[in-house]
Amino acid sequence: MPCPIEIDEHFDDIVGVTYIKEAPVEKVIFAGSPREIQFIITKPLHWTQKKPYAEEQARLHEEYPNVPSDWIFLTIECKWNFELITTLFSFGERIIVLSPDRVVYDMQKKIKMMIKHYLSDKKDMY
């Protein structure tokens, strides 16, 4: 039976396999420590991943002053989905997601839930 979609193109706009048709393609901006970014550069999160040139790095540091001065910015252009959030979250404190707001919000929500789970009034489990 013929496939009703072009498989080669269907997954171009996403990280992972969850395809949300109505989700727009957005530019995701994140920064990371020099060591972490070198790892991500060698193992890109998405085929659209780019490291902005020096002048754009400087502009982004001005726009996001909370990012440590030696950290490096990267961008990807893809649709929001579960795998995007979990992939970004897997880097923990070694990266900061800065844009778009929806992705930042999802990261914050995940962190708040983890704080709730791990810093509750439960007795030490060990």
Structure confidence by residue, pLDDT tens digits, 12-58: 666 755 666 778 889 999 999 999 999 999 999 889 999 999 999 99
- Residue 123: pLDDT band with limits 50, 70, 90: low
Q: What is the mean pLDDT of residues 80-90?
A: 89
Q: 33-42, pLDDT tens digit by residue?
A: 999 999 999 9
Strand, coil or helix: 12? coil
Cα angle 112, 115, 121 (rounded to 5 degrees) comes to 135
User: What are φ and ψ of residue 23, in 5° steps?
Assistant: -70, 130
Sequence spans of domains, the chain? 7-118
